[in-house]
């Protein structure tokens, strides 16, 4: 019913703190269980906790963080007209544009 309401847009299921080598459930298995949904993973990156503990934005404390690249890719999936991050665009600006309904 939800998928029919969405029309052509497919829901995007975001898996946070995903480890591909964990030995637990794999993305392919989740795809089998959720047909018709697009999956996106966010890496389980210790730099996220470290930046929170230090009170710094992740983009300032660890510009090479794997999760930052995953967030950039998610933003592009949410709003394909938004270009990948440039050095002059903040993460909050891009998220705001991606999630706005205007």
User: Cα separation of 37 and 97, whole Å?
Assistant: 23
Q: What is the pLDDT of residue 88?
A: 58
pLDDT tens track for 79-91: 777 666 555 567 7
Q: What is the pLDDT of residue 34?
A: 85
pTM over 0.85? The answer is no
- The three state secondary structure string of 73-100 is HHHHHHCCCCCCCCCCCCHHHHHHHHHC
Asked if residue 39 has pLDDT above 50, the reply is yes
Q: Is 14 helix (H, G, I), strand (E, B) or coil?
A: strand
37 confidence band (pLDDT: 50, 70, 90):
confident
- By percentage, how much of the chain surpasses pLDDT 70? 75
């Amino acid at each position: 019913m939800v998928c029919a309401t969405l029309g052509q847009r497919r829901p995007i299921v975001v898996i946070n703190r995903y480890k591909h080598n964990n030995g637990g459930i794999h993305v392919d298995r989740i795809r089998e269980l959720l047909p018709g949904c697009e999956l996106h993973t966010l890496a389980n990156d210790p730099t996220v906790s470290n930046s929170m503990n230090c009170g710094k934005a992740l983009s300032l404390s660890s510009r090479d963080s794997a999760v930052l690249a995953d967030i950039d890719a998610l933003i592009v999936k949410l709003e394909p007209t938004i270009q990948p991050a440039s050095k002059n665009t903040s993460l909050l600006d891009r998220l705001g544009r991606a999630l706005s309904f205007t």
